[in-house]
Amino acid sequence: MREGDPLGEILAAAVRRENINPSTGDVLVIAQKIVSKSEGRVVRLSSVVPSAGAEAIAARLRIDPRKIEIILRESRRIVRAEWIESAGRGVIICETHHGLVCANAGVDESNLDEPDTVLCLPEDPDASAAKIRADLHQMLGVDLGVILTDSFGRPWRVGLVNVAIGVSGVAAIRDCRGQTDSSGRLLQTTELAVADELAAAAGLLMGKLDRIPAVLVQGFRADAPPGRAADLIRAPGGDLFR
C-alpha cells in the first residue's frame, strides 16, 4: 500500500476476488495501517528535527528523539511517560488530537516496508471511514458499515485489543439506559460499545502478524442508530481518571 492508492477500489476488488457477496448492513472492519498508508501518513525519521522537549523525554525513556518529536506533534497531551525497569523499556501514553488515549499517540513502526519510517494515525478517522464507505457503495452497490481499527493496550489489563478509531454507517454505541433487565430492574448506566466489540472480534481473524487488513462481518444488527468513533470518547466531565 502506497500514498494515493485507491483503497476503496482495492477493497472492492478483493471482495470480488474472494467471491464474497456483501449485503447492505454488513460491516467491513479495516486495519488502520492500510488507511494511514494510503493517506500518506508515513513519516521518514531522517526528515525530523527533534525539539529540546523531545530530546529530554527521549533521554529519559531511551527512545529515538525523532520518534518522540513525531509523537508530540500527534498529541494533545502526555498522560504518562516512564521508564519501566522490569520491562527494560520506556513507555509514553498520550492523548491524541482525536481524543484517543494510547501508547505513542498511535505512532507505529511495525509492518512498514521502508526502513527509517514511522506511521501515524489518520488525521480524521471518522472521515476516512465515511469516504471508504462511500467508495464501496459506488463500486459494490451495497451500503456497508465501515469501522477502522487499531490495537490498544488497556489500563489494569495485559494484552492488546482492537478498538474502533473510525466509524461510518454502523452504531458506535447501543444505549440501553431506560430499558429493563430480565429481572425488571431499570438500566441506568448501561451503554454498549458496539463498534469496539466488532473491532475486537474482527481482530481475532486479522491477527497481529497475519497481514489480514480487513474482515467482513455479516448478519450483525446493532438495533441502534449509526454513529462515529468520536461518540466512544468519554467527555472530560465524566472521566474520573483525568
CB-based burial of residue 148 (10 Å sphere; 0-12 exposed, 13-18 middle, 19+ buried)? buried
Instruction: Give Cβ neighbours of residue 49 (< 8 Å, ≥ 6 apart).
Output: 66, 69
Q: How confident is the model at residue 45 (pLDDT cuts 50, 70, 90)?
A: very high
Report field, pTM of the whole predicted structure over 0.85: yes
Angle between helix 65-73 and 52-61 (nearest 10): 120
Domain boundary (119, 136, 171) is at 119
State whether 130 and 113 are in the same domain: no
Query: Which secondary structure element, helix H or strand E, spans residue 126, and what is its range?
Result: helix 125-140
Domain span holding position 3: 1-41+121-232
Indicate whether 213 and 147 sit together in one domain: yes
Number of domains, the chain:
2
Distances from the Cα of 61 to the Cα of 88, 102, 173, angstroms: 10, 16, 37
Give yes or no: residues 150 and 220 share one domain.
yes
pLDDT digits (tens, 9 = 90+) for 100-133: 999 999 999 988 888 899 999 999 999 999 999 9
Q: Which residue has the cell 483525568?
A: 242
Residue 18 domain flag: yes
